[in-house]
Amino acid sequence: MNRVAYTKPLTFRSWCSDEGIDRELAELALAHAVGSQVEQWLRSQ
């Protein structure tokens, strides 16, 4: 995967985590299916 394309979602997810926002809500905001391969890849970074 192209890591550059995922810089903004990773930053957003980090911010959500820091602010205590639910993982599911963050994924919905990014239009990812919760538990999807995209989410799993992002969480592994």
Q: pLDDT value at position 19?
A: 92
This prediction's pTM: 0.50
**Domain regions of the chain by residue span:** 4-43
Place of tokens 């995209």: 38
- Pull the structure tokens for residue 23: 């993982």
Given the structure tokens 């391969």, which residue do they identify? 37
Contacts of 39 (CB under 8 A, 6+ apart): 27, 32, 33
- The pLDDT tens digits for 7-36 are 666 788 888 999 999 988 888 887 766 677
**21 φ, ψ (degrees, to nearest 5):** -80, 135
Residue located via tokens 């963050």 = 26
Type of residue found at 11? T
